[in-house]
């Protein structure tokens, strides 16, 4: 910043700062050059999805320039959006994600409030434990969880495996620890005087949470909600393990298992499905980028 | 009640007594309600995280039909299999090289974004973070199509430069390269965002002081930027190491472990053996091999976090 202001006052001391400002101009040009390269690298796959999704299968199998659409058509979109199966995947995904977000918030917000403000026996250990849980990956737990739910089904007769709602039990293990962790960070940054004032005015702990903490920490709450939604929407391993019938699948698994039939790849439809599957997180990101990034960086910089 | 009886004579004392009882009640209520508020969290972690983790230790000691205790039989069987050692080697190569490249690219790109005037940074940051936002299962499909053996758009482009068709997912070495490339593409934006946040927190005066002392750009990075960002670099790298080591989606969709198991990593092989091969105990034993490296990374992260907690 300050160097920029020196540059602006440059003309009066042309000789001294001329070279410095020229250096900066070149640095800026090089920065733009490499940024463009990296942006191409980043955006090639999503753009290629879009390009392919606008092609008919005849155009895809013809050996034309793959980077260009000669006869754009929306037939892939129409076919997928009128297919009951695809809409079923979409609704399954939407329901799972929305309910998981609700469950996550109901569990993690009160827990984060209790851990951040109401010091009790073992609260510090529990906060650390929550963070450690976040570090346990899904690929470590999927086999024992699968066996657990199968055994549970044998014991009680309640069959949960191969039902989409089994994911409602499993996804919170991915979302709750991280959301609790970042909410602890946000709640801890609220001045203590605020809740003391509320308590003195006769508010109960619950009222303090709903009237003071949730409104003040709303940005954190939005960031946590976005995180929970994107994680549940993108999760691939658990639905692949737990659901197999086509009417129980969520979007990512549905696209991969039903659109790829043996060795026949209908690429136009696969890319359309992938793009539609990527759309909800991308739309949320486009509108709430700052909250998204805040949630991303909060996990490591807060606490 | 007792207070009420004494009230006519000793009003003041009674009131203070009542207040003390009320306070004690409030305290009791506070710890009780705090416990109730955290109870769902505790139950969730205990039933769906800690119990399965211990259960997988138990599963790993059973035979394939899960009827007999075999002790370390599964592990002995794994140690004798060549594929297992291949998976160990590939997991390490995959995780370490992917994390190194993600960290390097993230660091470089963060610097470039930081160089750009502040009002344009938002736009660039928004574009460069797109790979991280798209669900990896979906974007890997796009990569699979870009790598397609007969219609590869990359090979089409490269053919203009006289570079022959590259078997992106057909040849063992190229398949490993492709898997790492996709992982770097997906993970580098995360590093970029973390480093960018860290770069912004370095006070400008330090660079001015360095410039006055005659430091060139390399010295500024080495003596100012890196020491200031050490914490964030360490924690991001360790975190990414865990996530990359446990990666499943990318390898599963891009190569499904092939050709000839030459891209399998722990998670995909555990899935192949445990779910597809329905040998749950063996699959559980395979995935348990991730624990040591995860534990080491977790300990370092935890040490860093408690250290920072004490400082603040």
Q: In sequence order, which residues have a C-beta less than 8 Å from that of residue B131 and are 6 or more positions away?
A: A42, A45, B139, B185, B186, B188, B189
Q: How far is A284 from chain B (nearest CA, A)?
A: 10
Least confident of A30-34, A58-62, A195-199, B50-54: A58-62
**Domain match, B198 and B92 both:** yes
Are B52 and B83 part of one and the same domain?
Answer: no
Together in a domain, B32 and B108: no
The answer to whether residues B151 and B26 belong to one domain is no
A138 in contact with chain B, both atoms CB, cutoff 8 A: yes
Cβ contact A205–B38 (<8 Å) = no
**Rounded distance between C-alpha atoms, residue B269 and residue A18, angstroms:** 60
CB spacing of B287 vs A107 below 8 angstroms: no
Q: Residue B244's Cα: distance from chain center in Å?
A: 6
**Most B-contacting residue of A54, A140, A176, A223 (CB-CB within 10 A), to test interface:** A140
Whether residue B7 is predicted with pLDDT greater than 50 in this model: the reply is no
Q: Nearest CA to A96 among A299, A288, A219, A236?
A: A236
Domain-embedded: residue B260: yes
Residue B80 Cα, gap to closest chain A Cα (Å): 22
Residues B248, B156, single domain; the answer is yes
Beta carbons of B170 and A85 less than 8 angstroms apart = no
What confidence tier does A210 reach under pLDDT thresholds 50, 70, 90?
confident
Q: Is residue B67 part of a domain?
A: no
Half-sphere exposure of B277 (CA within 13 A, CB side): 15
3-state secondary structure A52-76: HHCCCHHHHHCCCCCCCCCCCCCHH
Q: What angle is formed at CA A190 by the lines to CA A184 and CA A194, rounded to 5 degrees?
A: 130
Residues B123 and B244 in one domain: yes
- Closest residue to A282, CB basis, from B38, B134, B271: B134
Whether residue B212 is contained in a domain is answered as yes
End position of a domain, from candidates B32, B59, B86: B59
How many domains, in total, are found in chain B?
A: 2
Contact indicator for B149, B169 with CB cutoff of 8 Å: yes
Mutate to test the interface with B, among A4, A8, A42, A170 (most CBs of B within 10 A): A42
pTM value is: 0.84
Is the CB of B38 less than 8 angstroms away from the CB of A114? yes
pLDDT in tens, B60-87: 888 777 777 777 878 888 888 888 888 8
Q: Which of A149-163, A245-259, A289-303, B86-100 has the highest mean pLDDT?
A: B86-100
pLDDT at A78 over 80: yes
Residue in A49, A142, A172 closest to B142 by CB: A49
Segment A114-141 shows an average pLDDT of 83
Q: Are residues B35 and B89 in the same domain?
A: no
Interface mutation target, options A8, A100, A119, A137, chain B, most CBs of B under 10 Å: A137
Same domain, B47 and B81: no
Domain identity same for B207 and B242: yes
Lowest mean pLDDT among A249-253, B199-203, B308-312: B308-312
* Pair B17, B143 in one domain: no
Domain with residue B194: its CATH number is 1.10.3720.10
CA–CA separation, B46 and B41 (whole Å): 8
Of A141, A144, A234, the CB nearest to B135: A234
On chain B, the residues whose CB falls within 8 A of the CB of A67 are: 153, 156-157
Each residue's pLDDT tens digit, A26-58: 878 888 888 899 999 999 999 999 988 888 877
Interface contact flag, B232 A107, Cβ < 8 Å: no
Picking from B59, B83, B99, the residue at the C-terminal end of a domain is B59
Question: Is B32 inside any structural domain?
Answer: yes
- Whole-angstrom CA distances from A85 to A7, A82, A88, A90, A254 are 61, 9, 5, 9, 9
- Whether B65 is in a domain gets the answer no
Q: Which is it for the CA torsion A169, A173, A179, A185, positive or negative? A: positive
Which residues of chain A are within 8 Å of residue B233 when distances are taken between CB atoms? none
Q: Which of A235, A118, A239 is nearest to A175 (CA)?
A: A235
Domain A78-301, CATH homologous superfamily name and number: MetI-like (1.10.3720.10)
Q: B79 with B192, same domain? A: yes
More confident residue, B117 or A225: A225
Predicted complex: ipTM over 0.95: no
- B137 close to A234: Cβ distance less than 8 angstroms: yes
**Which A residues 39-78 touch B at CB under 8 Å?**
39, 41-46, 48-49, 52, 60-61, 65-67
* Segments forming the whole domain that contains residue B260: 73-311
- A9 vs B131, higher pLDDT: B131
For residue A121, the chain B residue with the least C-alpha distance is: B31
Give the domain-ending residue among B59, B81, B100: B59
CB of A275 within 8 Å of any CB in chain B?
yes
Structure confidence at residue B165 as a pLDDT band (50, 70, 90): confident
Q: Are B135 and A49 inside 8 Å of each other by CB?
A: no
Which residue's entry shows tokens 């470039």? B112
Nearest chain B residue to A129 by CA: give it: B45
The Cα B200–Cα B218 span in angstroms is: 18
Q: How many CB pairs under 8 A join A and B?
A: 283
Per-residue pLDDT reduced to its tens digit, B273-308: 888 888 888 888 888 888 888 888 888 877 776 666
Chain A residues whose CB is inside 8 A of the B306 CB are 128
Q: Calculate the CA dihedral of residues A90, A92, A97, A99 and round it to 10 degrees.
A: 140
Query: Which residues share a beta bridge with A260?
Result: A265
For residue B86, give the nearest of B297, B269, B275 by alpha carbon: B269
Instruction: Specify whether B37 is located in the same domain as B77.
Output: no
Question: Would residue B86 count as lying in a domain?
Answer: yes
Instruction: List all residues 6 or more positions away from B201 whose beta carbon is below 8 Å from its beta carbon.
Output: B228
Name the pLDDT band for A97 (thresholds 50, 70, 90).
very high
CB within 8 Å: B55 and A144: yes
* For chain A, domain boundaries: 2-53, 78-301
Distance from CA of A76 to the nearest CA of B (A): 16
């Amino acid at each position: 910043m300050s160097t920029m202001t020196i540059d602006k006052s440059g003309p009066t001391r042309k000789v001294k700062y001329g070279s410095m400002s020229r250096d900066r101009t070149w640095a800026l040009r090089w920065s733009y050059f490499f940024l463009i390269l990296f942006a191409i690298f980043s955006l090639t796959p999503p753009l290629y999805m879009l390009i392919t999704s606008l092609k008919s299968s005849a155009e895809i199998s013809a050996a034309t320039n793959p980077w260009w659409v000669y006869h754009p058509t929306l037939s892939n979109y129409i076919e997928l959006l009128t297919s009951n199966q695809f809409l079923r995947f979409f609704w399954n995904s939407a329901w799972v994600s929305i309910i998981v977000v609700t469950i996550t918030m109901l569990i993690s917000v009160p827990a984060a409030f209790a851990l951040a403000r109401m010091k009790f026996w073992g609260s510090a250990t529990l906060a650390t434990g929550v963070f450690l849980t976040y570090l346990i990956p899904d690929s470590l737990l999927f086999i024992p969880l699968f066996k657990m739910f199968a055994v549970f089904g044998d014991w009680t007769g309640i069959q949960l495996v191969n039902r989409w709602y089994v994911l409602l039990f499993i996804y919170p293990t991915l979302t709750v620890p991280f959301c609790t962790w970042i909410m602890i960070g946000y709640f801890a940054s609220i001045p203590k005087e605020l809740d003391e004032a509320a308590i003195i005015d006769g508010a109960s702990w619950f009222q303090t949470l709903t009237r003071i903490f949730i409104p003040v920490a709303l940005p954190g709450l939005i960031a946590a909600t976005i995180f929970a939604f994107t994680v549940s929407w993108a999760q691939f391993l658990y639905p692949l393990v737990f659901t197999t019938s086509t009417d129980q699948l969520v979007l990512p698994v549905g696209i991969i298992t039903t659109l790829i039939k043996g060795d026949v790849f209908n690429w136009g439809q696969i890319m359309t499905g992938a793009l539609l599957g990527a759309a909800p997180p991308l739309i949320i990101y486009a509108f709430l980028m700052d909250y998204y990034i805040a949630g991303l960086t909060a996990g490591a910089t807060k606490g | 009640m007792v207070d009420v009886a004494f009230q006519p004579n000793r009003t003041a004392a009674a009131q203070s007594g009542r207040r003390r009882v009320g306070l004690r009640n409030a305290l009791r209520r506070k710890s009780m309600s705090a416990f109730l508020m955290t109870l769902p969290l505790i139950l969730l972690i205990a039933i769906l995280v800690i119990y399965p983790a211990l259960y997988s230790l138990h599963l790993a000691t059973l035979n394939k039909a899960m009827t007999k205790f075999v002790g370390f039989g599964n592990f002995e069987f794994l140690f004798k299999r060549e594929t297992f050692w291949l998976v160990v080697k590939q997991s390490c190569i995959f995780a370490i090289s992917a994390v190194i490249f993600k960290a390097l690219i993230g660091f470089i790109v963060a610097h470039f974004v930081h160089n750009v005037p502040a009002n344009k940074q938002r736009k660039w940051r928004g574009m460069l973070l797109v790979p991280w936002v798209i669900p990896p299962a979906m974007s890997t499909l796009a990569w699979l199509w870009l790598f397609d053996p007969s219609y590869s758009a990359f090979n089409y482009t490269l053919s203009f430069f006289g570079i022959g068709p590259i078997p992106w997912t057909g040849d063992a070495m190229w398949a490993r390269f492709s898997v790492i490339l996709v992982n770097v593409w997906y993970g580098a934006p995360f590093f970029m965002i973390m480093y960018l946040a860290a770069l912004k927190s370095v006070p400008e005066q330090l660079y001015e002081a360095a410039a006055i002392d005659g430091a060139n750009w390399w010295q500024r990075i080495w003596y100012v930027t890196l020491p200031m960002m050490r914490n964030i670099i360490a924690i991001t790298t360790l975190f990414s190491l865990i996530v990359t080591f446990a990666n499943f989606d990318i390898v599963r969709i891009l190569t499904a472990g092939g050709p000839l198991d030459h891209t399998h990593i722990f998670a995909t092989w555990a899935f192949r053996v445990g779910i597809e091969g329905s040998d749950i105990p063996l699959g559980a034993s395979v995935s348990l091999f991730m624990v040591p490296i995860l534990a080491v990374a977790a300990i370092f992260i935890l040490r860093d976090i408690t250290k920072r907690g004490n400082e603040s």
